[in-house]
Amino acid sequence: MSDSEQFASDNYSGICPQAWAAMDEANRMDEPAYGEDIWTARAADGLRALFDTDCDVFFTFNGTAANSLALASIGQSFHSVICHELAHIETDECGGPEYASNGSKLLPGEGRDGKLTPDSIEHLVTKRTDIHYPKPKAVSITQATEVGTVYTPDEIRAIRAVADKHKLNIHMDGARFANAVAALGVHPAEVTWKAGVDVLCFSGTKNGLAVGEAVVFFNRALAEDFEWRCKQAGQLASKMRFISAPWCGLMEDETWLGNARHANACADRLARGLLDIEGVSLRYPRQANGVFVELPQPVQDGLRANGWRFYNFIGGCSRLVCSWSTTEAQVDRFLADVRGLVE
Amino acid sequence: MSDSEQFASDNYSGICPQAWAAMDEANRMDEPAYGEDIWTARAADGLRALFDTDCDVFFTFNGTAANSLALASIGQSFHSVICHELAHIETDECGGPEYASNGSKLLPGEGRDGKLTPDSIEHLVTKRTDIHYPKPKAVSITQATEVGTVYTPDEIRAIRAVADKHKLNIHMDGARFANAVAALGVHPAEVTWKAGVDVLCFSGTKNGLAVGEAVVFFNRALAEDFEWRCKQAGQLASKMRFISAPWCGLMEDETWLGNARHANACADRLARGLLDIEGVSLRYPRQANGVFVELPQPVQDGLRANGWRFYNFIGGCSRLVCSWSTTEAQVDRFLADVRGLVE
Amino acid sequence: MSDSEQFASDNYSGICPQAWAAMDEANRMDEPAYGEDIWTARAADGLRALFDTDCDVFFTFNGTAANSLALASIGQSFHSVICHELAHIETDECGGPEYASNGSKLLPGEGRDGKLTPDSIEHLVTKRTDIHYPKPKAVSITQATEVGTVYTPDEIRAIRAVADKHKLNIHMDGARFANAVAALGVHPAEVTWKAGVDVLCFSGTKNGLAVGEAVVFFNRALAEDFEWRCKQAGQLASKMRFISAPWCGLMEDETWLGNARHANACADRLARGLLDIEGVSLRYPRQANGVFVELPQPVQDGLRANGWRFYNFIGGCSRLVCSWSTTEAQVDRFLADVRGLVE
Amino acid sequence: MSDSEQFASDNYSGICPQAWAAMDEANRMDEPAYGEDIWTARAADGLRALFDTDCDVFFTFNGTAANSLALASIGQSFHSVICHELAHIETDECGGPEYASNGSKLLPGEGRDGKLTPDSIEHLVTKRTDIHYPKPKAVSITQATEVGTVYTPDEIRAIRAVADKHKLNIHMDGARFANAVAALGVHPAEVTWKAGVDVLCFSGTKNGLAVGEAVVFFNRALAEDFEWRCKQAGQLASKMRFISAPWCGLMEDETWLGNARHANACADRLARGLLDIEGVSLRYPRQANGVFVELPQPVQDGLRANGWRFYNFIGGCSRLVCSWSTTEAQVDRFLADVRGLVE
């Protein structure tokens, strides 16, 4: 892929070479549909090996569906989901979770740097217990968060403790799970089932696929009949191998982790470069592959005039996201442009 | 792709070369997400040109979703959808349309060779009009049908007449729309908007894509805010270009039609070959890319023992489906095997 | 109540004296809302005593809601419900069960005299097990049936056996449960939990209330958080005592059973009288409070011209329903009119 | 009804004499079901006369259902509803609107004294217009509000102006609509259709019925097929006359308005009495039948120890609600108790 003038999103990126090669291989012959091909079994086994546990694995087309269906498998329509007020499922899914669950309310909680706190969960569960208030059944946390920060294993375990107290299941929105694992430098098990996560939506798309998310149930009771749920919801691919084979590509030689490390490293280079510039500050600590930076409006305007694409976040700070395909040269060009505009 | 020993389904096939090439081209650089890339606009324009009308075009991941969301855009939860009793939406979507519409009932109608008749529609609309019966709002027809037959433009116009009488909108499940157009030898407009179809779900997957269906609204009022519906339902691809670019590939040089003609020709060769065999008969007339054949049980067993994959249909006849990737050699091998087993 | 010229439905009847008196008593002072009044607890206890078991009891406004919510508590949207093809939930609820469950399909089964057979259930469960077919999770039977017949305890136990085999829960639509108990002359427990029913929707409305059905969970695990389900679905009465107090009235001195016996006796008198008339025959055996009679069209027309109201059923037979408020004089007037018209 | 020791809610009250008398009259003979009786037509005509316009009228069992179904008739699942952050539909319906609409999000807005402002609506509509944000389609206002205040006709017209600008429909939650009309001293038309309200949910229950709300569509296009919606959702009463006849009772001699005036007058007496007590203040202006008062905790405890029932509201103030059945003696006893506890 050629170089790019964007930090708009990691979903602007394309298909990474390893995923492409696997897709190519899967295209060499006809294969049974609906996941009965050889690739889908292999990809699911690969994820079980990756997490080092006997989890149940399903593939959906995108993250909206993965998150919405996983949450629907936890609660009924009259239950509620506690999440951070900045959570993607609350702010950017156009009511996807409410639709898949037929009406579950999301209860927005709080916490610094986009991270939901046990206290906030406790408050939302205990402030009311009457039947006019939808009964909390799930906690959803995003790893890495929407503002580029990362929950530590200890932080997740603390959430597990309050979840246990109130019989809640924990859903992890892993749109950037790979980046979080890369940032923390831990085994994937440490921030999932070993810390008490019941179900993880692990994004392949942002990590280098064309399409395809893995829904990984560590709490296998929640996965009961989940394949029917996917089918009914329009999330069962007939040519499933074109989702699962690329996942095999991602898992070979830990490509998923390499892609994430690369994106994080680019973000780190970008963040450091920005902090070196007078008058530029970060809104949130840079921990994964996103950089949230306060740039004067003229600088933002100038960058956009120069052809750079990026989005602004709540409060007006600029969100810069790196991906597997971001290049150092691109980072450096951006920094040079910022420097030129600041002066 | 290498040769194959299956007539199980056209969704066992892979990605056709033209779609692959377009996907490759779309992968050369980063592109905006959620359909704001250059490919998606081009694919939608291509479909408008193909149908020679100013329709509204959306892309979904699969056919379950395309059909379910298109039907949901026609009626409310308390409305009903009239379809043939063999319709895929009734028999094989695990309640997908009921889910997307939050409860619309499907009213199964009748007709020879899998084709719904105007009389059957009339009967289902008029037999009851009380509020305990869900009010019919949509007619859904499948083109080509689930049993491989094809509605003529006249037959569709006759359905339009009864639909007009009762203020129904017409949905066309086009899982094998290309094969129907190829079989009829008409312009695509003749069997869609010119015959009174309001919305068509045009399958790319069965025609040679990895994933991706086009929902084409000829009745543009029905398309109001449909992009939000797709988003909420988990049907908005972030890397949309990997759905739309392959559609561009399909439309270049009428590849979609060439693929369909090839599949139909293989089915024709297969049907003719089978009819030449003593004691073998077809259950339904062969018109598109499926052959529904009555084979003695020992012959079926023998074919499966020889490694052939195919499904049996209602009543026990065998369904043999050809695709863009079926080869004449494969057809001939199959016929030889049948002949060997019959004797 | 004054005499009436209708056999249209038992829901044309009014409020029986005992229910009225209880409502009057409940209206003497303010009471807590949402079921925290003294009457609701008393009514639930009364139902537990009536069934001689520690069941969970909830009250909803009507039968559509009771049945739809009870079924939704058994399965998820992608599950299915097996019921008789004549079942009210299939033919007359305008998609209510599909709506409450967010898309569960009903699978219509068969059986003589409106009674679903174990074989038909077995067939619907086993004919397909793929994910394109919604997985059966519930069996729904109507007691008394839509055609006025009654399941014996043995018949229900036979259904329980097949349900156990396939892990299905049994829902009983008890729109005319009281009439069935009166007809069978058994203890209510014998045709419910002792025969394997998981949840019963026991109609008060048809038995003499203004409004209000009891949802009785013998399988208490299914009742988890059911009060939230009722609340969300708009089925939690604020002034609940005006539903529950009349239920207390019905249960005092076995009024519910007396009302049902009276209705059944009227139906018996009506059926016997009709059978005495030359050329008149019954379509279904008269067992509860409904009489399904084949009347020549001129006789039907004549009766209607004389002011009688009644509905025709599938196939054209006339459905005559008696209630707690039907009188012998009314039955005799009707019979005299039929005789006059037949001659 | 006897005197009471509660200000907990107006839904603790019973059935007012005029409603009771009408119910009694409706119980004198059998009547057709499902609203085809003489009372339902009369009640609907009565409401048309009351509002002096040709509106469409439907009856539901309770307010949760009335509001949820009315909102569902305005938008699709992917649309959103703007309401005040204190709105009952947001805080106390356990996800009822989300359930009935299959996933519409509520967007909580702001405004002093529980009244949504045009600016807040404008902000919520314009802050985002992308497809990841559910498109606003409805504004819901509560009249009288949840904190006992009342929108003036001018305030509603100002909301209408911003609604017109953005093509929004206005829903009015009229749980205490009668109290608002009584407080404002205007014709009901002035605060509904003449001010731009599209659909009103007019509560009968809080005004003196056992059960039953009127859904009044001034914008009749929104009412299309609404009877089917009610049926499917379990909101069609079979013995409808026991909802509609009491409504006739309420409308005779303007009982509804008399009941509301009485409740408001009691609240006024209560508020004035409280303000005369040293150290007691009101949290919100007393305008309708609710008094929101800041009482020291020991006073609250003392009142409850004396047998008084009332709820606390957000922030800890006490909510005291008067109804048609509240008596001056009861108000005076309460005031005496407060005075005794304060000293």
pLDDT tens figures, C205-229: 999 999 999 999 999 999 999 999 9
Please state whether the peptide bond connecting residue A19 to the residue before it is cis, i.e. omega within 30 degrees of 0: no
Question: Nearest residue on chain C to A101, judged by CA atoms?
Answer: C102
Q: State the nearest Cα–Cα gap between D157 and chain C, in angstroms.
A: 30
Task: Kindly list the partner chains of chain A, i.e. chains with 3 or more CB atom pairs below 8 Å.
Answer: B, C, D
**pLDDT (tens digit per residue) in B41-100:** 999 999 999 999 999 999 999 999 999 999 999 999 999 999 999 999 999 999 999 999
Are A135 and C225 inside 8 Å of each other by CB?
yes
Residue type for D163, please? Answer: A
Q: State the nearest Cα–Cα gap between B102 and chain D, in angstroms.
A: 6
- pTM given for the model: 0.97
Find the mean pLDDT for residues D229-234. Answer: 98
The Cα–Cα gap between B24 and B43 comes to 16
Residues of C in contact with A227 (CB under 8 A): 131
Residue D342: burial class (beta carbons within 10 Å; 0-12, 13-18, 19+): middle
Task: Kindly list the partner chains of chain C, i.e. chains with 3 or more CB atom pairs below 8 Å.
Answer: A, B, D
Find the mean pLDDT for residues C120-138. Answer: 97
Q: State the nearest Cα–Cα gap between B104 and chain D, in angstroms.
A: 10
Percent of chain C's residues with pLDDT above 70 = 99
The Cα–Cα gap between B288 and A75 comes to 45
- For residue C238, pLDDT over 80 is answered with yes
Question: Nearest residue on chain B to D104, judged by CA atoms?
Answer: B232
Residues of B in contact with D98 (CB under 8 A): none
Tell me which residue in C103, C134, C228 faces A135 most closely, judged by beta carbons: C228
- Give yes or no for a contact between D64 and C237, defined as CB atoms under 8 angstroms apart: no
Q: State the nearest Cα–Cα gap between A210 and chain B, in angstroms.
A: 6
CB atoms near residue D176 (< 10 Å)? 28
**pLDDT (tens digit per residue) in D47-74:** 999 999 999 999 999 999 999 999 999 9
Residues of B in contact with D60 (CB under 8 A): none
Q: State the nearest Cα–Cα gap between D80 and chain B, in angstroms.
A: 11
Report pLDDT for D2.
Answer: 58
Find the mean pLDDT for residues D276-285. Answer: 95
The Cα–Cα gap between B26 and A113 comes to 36
CATH pick for B17-253 out of 3.40.47.10, 3.90.1640.30, 3.30.1360.40, 3.40.640.10: 3.40.640.10
Task: Kindly list the partner chains of chain B, i.e. chains with 3 or more CB atom pairs below 8 Å.
Answer: A, C, D
Residues of C in contact with B102 (CB under 8 A): 99, 102-103
For tokens 């008969």, name the residue.
B281
Report pLDDT for C279.
Answer: 87
Which residue, D235, D236, D229, D237, is CA-closest to D101? Answer: D229
Tell me which residue in A98, A133, A134 faces D103 most closely, judged by beta carbons: A98
Are C205 and D239 inside 8 Å of each other by CB?
yes
Q: State the nearest Cα–Cα gap between B42 and chain C, in angstroms.
A: 34
Find the mean pLDDT for residues C54-77. Answer: 98
- For residue B191, pLDDT over 80 is answered with yes
Percent of chain D's residues with pLDDT above 70 = 99
- Residues in contact with B23: Cβ distance below 8 Å, sequence separation at least 6, in sequence order: A210, B15, B210, B242, B245, B246, B249
Question: In DSSP terms, which residues pair with A58 in a beta bridge?
Answer: A215
**pLDDT (tens digit per residue) in D126-169:** 999 999 999 999 999 999 999 999 999 999 999 999 999 999 99
The residues of chain D that CATH labels 3.90.1150.10 are: 255-342
- Residues in contact with C87: Cβ distance below 8 Å, sequence separation at least 6, in sequence order: C106, C108, C116, C140, C142, C146, C173
CB atoms near residue A305 (< 10 Å)? 10
- Give yes or no for a contact between A69 and A273, defined as CB atoms under 8 angstroms apart: no
If interface means Cβ-Cβ distance under 8 Å, which residues of chain A face chain C? 34, 76-79, 102-103, 131-132, 134-135, 225, 227-229, 231-232, 236
Q: State the nearest Cα–Cα gap between D191 and chain C, in angstroms.
A: 26
Residues of D in contact with A78 (CB under 8 A): 94-95, 99
Report pLDDT for D315.
Answer: 81
Residue type for B275, please? Answer: L
**pLDDT (tens digit per residue) in B266-275:** 999 999 999 9
Tell me the average pLDDT of chain B: 97
Residues of D in contact with A100 (CB under 8 A): 103
Residue type for C185, please? Answer: G
Report pLDDT for A315.
Answer: 81
Q: What is the CATH number of domain C255-342?
A: 3.90.1150.10
- For residue A4, pLDDT over 90 is answered with no
**Probe site for chain B from D74, D228, D240 (most B CB atoms < 10 A):** D228
Which DSSP letter does residue B316 get?
G
Report pLDDT for A2.
Answer: 58
- For residue A1, pLDDT over 90 is answered with no
The residues of chain C that CATH labels 3.40.640.10 are: 17-253
The Cα–Cα gap between D130 and C236 comes to 37
Find the mean pLDDT for residues A208-232. Answer: 98
Report pLDDT for D343.
Answer: 79
| Sheet strand arrangement including B281-282 | B281-282, B290-294, B318-321, B311-312
Residue A43 binned pLDDT confidence (cut-offs 50, 70, 90):
very high
CB atoms near residue B168 (< 10 Å)? 24
Residue C2 binned pLDDT confidence (cut-offs 50, 70, 90):
low
If interface means Cβ-Cβ distance under 8 Å, which residues of chain D face chain B? 34, 76-79, 102-103, 131-132, 134-135, 225, 227-229, 231-232, 236
Residues of A in contact with C232 (CB under 8 A): 77-78, 103, 134
Question: Could you please report the per-residue DSSP string of A189-241?
Answer: GGGTGGGT-SEEEEESTTTT-SS-EEEEESSGGGGTTHHHHHHHTT---TTTH
Range with top average pLDDT, A229-233, A310-314, C316-320:
A229-233
Percent of chain C's residues with pLDDT above 90 = 96
**pLDDT (tens digit per residue) in C3-51:** 678 999 999 999 999 999 999 999 999 999 999 999 999 999 999 999 9
D315/A238: higher pLDDT: A238
Are A231 and C131 inside 8 Å of each other by CB?
yes
B84 φψ region: left (φ > 0), alpha (ψ -120 to 50), beta (else):
beta
Residue A343 binned pLDDT confidence (cut-offs 50, 70, 90):
confident
The Cα–Cα gap between B92 and B68 comes to 12
Are B78 and C94 inside 8 Å of each other by CB?
yes
